[in-house]
Amino acid sequence: MSAAAAQSDNYRLIDLFLDMQAAERGAAENTLAAYRRDLDHAGEQFRRAGVGLADAEPEHVAKFLTGLGEMGMAPATRARKLSALRQFYRFLLAEGLIEEDPCHGFTGPKKARALPKTLSIGEVDQLIETARGCCRATHGGERYRAVRLYCLLEVLYATGLRVSELVSLPRDVLTGDARVLTVKGKGGRERMVPLSGAAVAALREFMALGLSAEDDMSATVATRWLFPSKSAQGHLTRQRFAQDLKEVAEQAGLDAERVSPHVLRHAFASHLLDRGADLRAVQQLLGHADISTTEIYTHVLQERLKALVEQHHPLAVKKA
């Protein structure tokens, strides 16, 4: 098979796999994009070895995985790429498009489960207060963007939403009880998340502002999304929110590299557990399908129990 034919066949098979993931498993757009990147990368490496994805043998997979290590890719990245290949070949095998799975018998690199990066309660307070201060110090379009960022921060820290869920909230999510949001998460699963008083107040302030004249968006876009934008999606992008967040982090005197929407999601979960919340409740709020995903936060519970014993157990040895 020529290189061009192999590449064309790769694209066709990847599209079939992604269609299945979207239709049968409800995979989100970001998940599908990640699968495509990983499979395109593997397909390109196999093509250089003279084979297409459908014709790959175990030795091609082994060489691909070895190459990832030689390139210095992190264990988590290598494990993700192998996982994508595994699922891809299981699909091809189930569809009768290949006779043997070339990934059979391969195991991913062992890696320690990293603790989630987070911020202290004081750092989150500092971040939010800085964003609130920017609202008072700006006017016009700048004030609109400042109030929007402050609103996003309050809602994110109050709910622990994924950033993709937050920026794509529809405007009608505010109908009904103003103290609760109904969110559609991964796989189309809906969950209800309560809002704090501060988040409710921030939302009211943002909605009262309306769109600034310079944003000049159509009424359709303006009424469809809670956080509208002139982006292709019609709503604020994850990238723009992350950029605005880093800017306000610098103004707050924090290390901007430590601050991201996902870090604030981690902070939400960690601070809830630190204050005594049940792990199952946090699982539901975060929208995790499996509690094993939420268990990464158990280090917070362990530290709290350790502190409890050290402070209150009569036999605890206190160092001077």
Nearest to 246 by CA among 238, 255, 237: 255
Which residues are bridge partners to 183 per DSSP?
191
Active site residue 275: no
Q: Which residue in 47, 145, 266, 288 is the catalytic one?
A: 288
CB half-sphere exposure, 205, CA atoms < 13 A: 21
Q: Which residue in 162, 235, 266, 271 is the catalytic one?
A: 162
Active site residue 136: no
Could you give phi then psi for residue 191, rounded to 5 degrees?
-145, 155
Token couple for 236: 């604020």
Helix H or strand E encompassing 180: strand 180-184
Q: Which residue in 47, 265, 266, 271 is the catalytic one?
A: 265
Contact between residue 106 and residue 65 where contact means Cβ atoms under 8 Å apart: yes
Active site residue 297: yes
Active site residue 238: no
The residues, any chain, with a CB within 8 Å of residue 319's CB and separated by 6 or more, are none
Active site residue 25: no
User: 141: how many CB neighbours lie within 10 A of its CB?
Assistant: 13
Active site residue 262: yes
Q: Which residue in 41, 63, 143, 186 is the catalytic one?
A: 186
Q: Which residues are catalytic?
A: 162, 186, 262, 265, 288, 297
